[in-house]
Every structure is written in structure tokens, then in C-alpha cells.
Structure 1
Amino acid sequence: MGNASSMLTQYDIEEVQEHCNYLFSLQEIVSLYQRFCQLDRNAKGFISADEFLSIPEFALNPFSQRLLKMVDGLNFKDFVAFLSTFSSKATLEQKIELIFKVYDIDGKGKVTFKDLLEVLRDLTGSFMSEEQREKVLSQVLEEAGYSRNCSLLLEDFVKILGKPGLKMEVEVPVD
């Protein structure tokens, strides 16, 4: 399974299914493997940052640089595990955990006002001034019961985002 040019066996598929908590069907895993092989242009068995950036939707995402830190060098099993967060079968907590990792810039397990401000800067670009961003962010935090001096933990993200309606799904086309 390490070499992208090899074929997936039934055992490989079942192993990947177990690794991603059975969030993808057999057919979806085969489709994902085909896509993985297309992206792994040099058949190294993993996808590099440059190969991920060849996906237009990924390259245009305002979080692409943050996501690259999470996905650079993923082998097929880990590629599927990463994508499983976007499955309609993934739990809300799994989705929130990924969002938290995107916001947790330094990977220390907490999100600061500065981290949130940086994310908002990525999203708004030149459409908002730094002063406007700080004001909006302070107000949002205050409404959620936090101050700009707080560090948010994963549990805080679950509390804030854990309401029904959070949509973060990708449909895997099956041939």
C-alpha cells in the first residue's frame, strides 16, 4: 500500500477502514485511493505540500497554509483518516477537533486571542482593518463568555461550536 502504483488488497481496504473508524465505505476508499495515486505524482507513497497545492480548492482555501502543516507527507492511511473528519458520518466532536487544530497555530493545545486574530486576518485580508478585527473578535468572545485574555481549550471550542448545524462535509465520488 506504500507504493501508489500498487493495488489495494481487501486487507488494505479493511485496515484503512478500521484506521478511519469505518467512516468511509469500501467503494469510497477505492475512490480515495485512486485520487491519492493521482496526487502522488512520483509514486512515493505520500503526498507532499506541493502536490496538495495542485488541488485548486485546497490552494484557494484561506486556511491552506495552516492545513499544509497537518497534511504534508501523509501516506494513504493518514490521508483517509484526515479526510474522514469531512465525512457525513463523522461526529460533531471530530469536526470541532479539526477546527481547533487549524486555530491552534503553535500546536500547544490552546487558542489565544492572537491565534484567533491571525485566523480572522487570513479570512478577511484587506477587507477589515486590524482595529475592526480586534473589535469584532473581542465582541464575539465576550458574547460567548470569554475575554481577550483567555486561552481557549478544545473543550471551549466544543462548548462554543457544539451546536447542531455545523456543516463540514465532503462527498466522495464513487465510480
Structure 2
Amino acid sequence: MGNTSSMLTQYDIEEVQEHCNHTFSQQEIVSLYQRFCQLDRNGGGFISAEEFLSVPEFAVNPLSQRLLRMLDGLNFKEFVAFLSAFSSRATLQQKVEFIFKVYDSDGNGKVTFSDMLEVLRDLSGQFISEQQREQVLIHVLEEAGYTKNSLLGLSDFMKILGNTGLKMEVEVPVD
């Protein structure tokens, strides 16, 4: 699987399926492999940040810079694991873990008010003032039983997002 010009074997497909908790069918994995090879322009077996930015939908995503920190240098197996959070077969836990990683940009296992404010800033841009962002975030935290000084862990995110009907899905086109 190191060389992207080679074809996936049945063993490779099953290994990737196992790695991503069977969130994709074998056919979807083959389609994802074809897309991975298209993105991996230099054929090195890894996708760089620049290669990800070649996808127009990704480049215009307000969270693209945050996501690039998670994506830069992924091999195919890691690429599929990353995308698995967007599968209709992914569990709520897998989706919340992904969202948590987006917020926990320093990887310390805790999300601060400042971390959440950064994401909100990325999402809202110039449309609302910094003061309005802070007020909205304080209100959301208070409704969930937290304060501006709370350090949120993964279990807190699960508590907050667990009953929201979280919908995070992308359809993988299968040839």
C-alpha cells in the first residue's frame, strides 16, 4: 500500500476496513483509494497540505487550516480513518471524537474557552464581533452547565453533543 500506483489487494481493503471500524464498504474503500491516488500528485503515498488544498470544497472551508493540521502527511489508511467520521455508518462517539480533535488543536485532551472561541472565529469570520462571539459562547456553555473557565474533555463533548441529532455525513461515490 506504500506505492499509490499499485492496486489494492483484498488484504489491503480488509485491513483498511478493520482500521476504520468497517465504516466503509469494500467498494467505497476502492473509490476512496482512487481519489487518494488523484490527490497524491507526486505518488509518494502521502497527501500533503498543498495537495488537500487542491480540492476546491476543502480550500474554501472556514476550518481548512485547522483540518490541515490533522491531515498533512496522511497515508491511505489514515486518510480513510480521517474520513470515517463522515460515514453514515460511523457511531456518534466517532463523530464526537472527530469534532473534539478539531477543537483540541494542541492535542492536550482539553478544550478551553479560547479554543472554542478560535473555532467560532474561523466559522463566523467578520460577520459578528468578538464581543458577540464571546457572548454566544458563554451562553451556550452556561446552557450546557459549564462556565467560561471550564476545561472540556471528550466526555464533556459527548454530553453536550450526544443529544443534538448530530449529522455529519458525506456520500462516497462508488463507480
Q: Shorter-normalised TM-score: what interval?
A: over 0.9
Question: Aligned to 1:134, what secondary structure does the other structure show?
Answer: helix
Structure 2 residue aligned with 1:96: 96
For residues 153 and 52 of structure 2, what CA distance do their matches in structure 1 show?
Answer: 29
For residues 113 and 131 of structure 1, what CA distance do their matches in structure 2 show?
Answer: 13
Q: Percent of aligned pairs with the same residue?
A: 78
CA RMSD of aligned residues (A): 0.8
For residues 118 and 96 of structure 1, what CA distance do their matches in structure 2 show?
Answer: 18
Structure 2 residue aligned with 1:68: 68
For residues 104 and 164 of structure 1, what CA distance do their matches in structure 2 show?
Answer: 20
- The alpha carbon displacement at 1:164 in A equals 5.0
For residues 30 and 164 of structure 1, what CA distance do their matches in structure 2 show?
Answer: 32
For residues 105 and 74 of structure 2, what CA distance do their matches in structure 1 show?
Answer: 19
For residues 76 and 170 of structure 1, what CA distance do their matches in structure 2 show?
Answer: 18
| Total equivalences in the alignment | 175
Q: Unpaired segments of 5 or more residues in structure 2?
A: none
TM-score by length of 2: 0.98
Whichever residue aligns with residue 122 of structure 1, its letter is D
After superposition, residues 1-175 of structure 1 pair within 5 angstroms as: 1-175=1-175
Question: Aligned to 2:86, what secondary structure does the other structure show?
Answer: coil
- The alpha carbon displacement at 1:117 in A equals 0.8
For residues 119 and 56 of structure 1, what CA distance do their matches in structure 2 show?
Answer: 21
Q: Unpaired segments of 5 or more residues in structure 1?
A: none
TM-score by length of 1: 0.98
